[in-house]
Amino acid sequence: MNLPPVFRVAIQLSALLALSAVSLVAQSLLLTEYKGKLLPVIRARDTQPFVEVDGKQVPAEGRRFALYKVEEYLPVFISVRDIDVGSTYVEMGGAAINHEFKMKAKLETPYSLENVFIVLELDTESAGKVIFMTEVGQLKSREIKYLSLRVPMQSAMGAGHYLIHLFSNGSEVLNSNIDPMYREAVVDRMTEKRIAAVKDAAPKLFFGPAPDYPAALWKSKTSGKVVVSIRIGANGRVYDPAVMSATDPAFGEAALTAVRLWRFLPRVKDGHAIEAVASMPLDFTPPPEPVKKS
């Protein structure tokens, strides 16, 4: 495939003085060079990218990157909160040195995600378009991950804006920095694509997090069952979820929290997506005891 030759050195950034976030306009693969070829980045270790070669993950040069637009996101969601961006420098002998771009944020997701990395796409006055990548690591369901980036700069910072991309195992995921209307439109297109050639079909879960076992019941290690009623729209979205039965109210609340985030491939009849009503049974099993280190 023909790929755009848009590259920047990741560490040699000219940062931003007036920083503003903008919403993503398309989903991407992050590409980097490996032995003269452009390959997708699968994961990162600190700022070192890894690519897949002959079924093995190997470190790449990691000095030049490109974002290549693709059709779909990985249909999971990460919330990016409390974003704080800025810059620092040191004055010495009347000159400003040691410029740094800084960013802090909190990440949270209802999913358990592996090999997460963040890509900042910067558009600056002095350096043009710049791409910086670094490792985030593992994200556990509903556990906050604190992110702190410090990037050395070559010079003083000019005005500009930034985009936040988040990836898991090389696929870009949806995040809260993306305009909500655009996010919904993306998922609508992904849903429509999967039923485009379907004549008749029952509703099918497309994506959504598993319910978390309630923290209030960890000590009792109780197993539980819940039945939730839902209305599945012709767009696959969940409407009016309600607990029909639950062996414990805590299980019911946990079930509703998860089900509200589910997305279905809708019922299809005679080639048309239509609304459906369903009852969803959910089982809860106590989480295993953590392995004790000797």
What is the C-alpha to C-alpha distance for residues 138 and 98, in angstroms, rounded to an integer? 31
Q: What is the pLDDT tens value at each position of the chain, 294 positions in all?
A: 333 333 222 222 222 333 444 444 457 899 999 998 899 999 999 999 999 999 999 999 777 899 998 888 999 999 999 999 877 767 776 666 676 778 899 999 999 999 999 998 877 777 667 788 999 999 999 999 999 988 766 666 667 778 899 999 999 999 999 899 999 999 999 999 999 999 999 999 999 999 999 999 988 889 999 999 999 999 999 999 999 999 999 999 999 999 999 999 999 999 999 999 999 999 999 888 665 555
Judge contact between 22 and 58, C-beta under 8 A.
no
DSSP string across 142-183: T--EEEEEEEEEEEEEE-EEEEEEEEETTEEEEETTS-HHHH
Whole-Å CA distances, 213 to 27, 57, 191, 221, 254: 32, 34, 29, 10, 7
**pTM greater than 0.75:** yes
Torsion angle, alpha carbons of 239, 245, 251, 255, to 10: -20
- Class of CATH domain 196-284: alpha beta
* The total number of residues written for the chain in this structure: 294
Q: Which two tokens stand for residue 100?
A: 């740094």
- Contact (Cβ atoms closer than 8 angstroms) between residue 42 and residue 52: yes
Chain-wide mean pLDDT for the chain?
Answer: 84
Domain ranges of the chain: 13-178, 196-284
pLDDT tens-place string over residues 218-248: 888 899 999 999 999 999 999 999 999 999 9
